[in-house]
Amino acid sequence: MPNEKVLLIDDEKEFAEVLAERMEARGLKITTADSGPKAIQCVADENFDAIVLNLFMPGMDGIETLKQLLQKNPDLQIILLVGRATIKKGVEAIKLGAMDFIEKPAEFEKLMELINKAAAKKMLLVEKNMEEKMSAILKQKGW
């Protein structure tokens, strides 16, 4: 998956930085945000193939950030990082529209697999949207 764009949201800057470095070494293009509001701004400015979001953050927590991100764009593919005791929250996040969740500290290769899956899903959604738009245009023009 070359140059897939990933948004990494975590208030632990040292964690986000090193994870970003490892992901970039695998060819991903990483943007980091240390809070929910900053992440919402990033999504307004740029398109992402996958979003990795920490559940426990100060101020706007992961669940609230997830809700607001999906409100802005329901096609976003969001993977939540959850603690062992907060797996219930992970399930709640799936119900709200997150693509998946993974326990933090995450196994790097598993996280990469999820990002891969998210990017593929995003691609399918983009293609589907494109097809729908094309079909609407064709119908409108009566061709």
Partner 1 sequence: MSSDSNRKFHEKQMEFFGAVTASVSHEINNVFAITNENSGLMSDLLKNAKRDKPIDPKRFLHINETLGKQLEREKHIVKRLNRFSHNVDTPLKEIDLNELITNLCDISQRFAYRKKVKLSLSLKRSPIVIESSPFTLQEMVFACIIAFLSEAQPGDSITVKVCKDSDRAVILLYGPKIKSEELFAMLQPMTDELAAKTQAESDGAKILLFLPRSIGA
| Positions in 28-57 near partner 1 (CB under 8 A) | 56-57
> Which residue of 15, 75, 97, 100 would you call a contact of partner 1, by CB under 8 A?
15
Which of residues 107 and 131 has its CB atom nearest to partner 1 in the complex? 107
Which of residues 76 and 93 has its CB atom nearest to partner 1 in the complex? 93
| Positions in 71-100 near partner 1 (CB under 8 A) | 83-85
Q: Count the alpha carbons within 13 Å of 101 in the hemisphere toward its beta carbon.
A: 26
> Which residue of 41, 59, 87, 130 would you call a contact of partner 1, by CB under 8 A?
59
Q: What does R_g of the chain's alpha carbons equal in angstroms?
A: 16
> Which residue of 19, 52, 53, 76 would you call a contact of partner 1, by CB under 8 A?
19
Closest distance between partner 1 and the C-beta of residue 108, in Å?
A: 5
Q: Does 14 bind partner 1 (CB under 8 A)?
A: yes
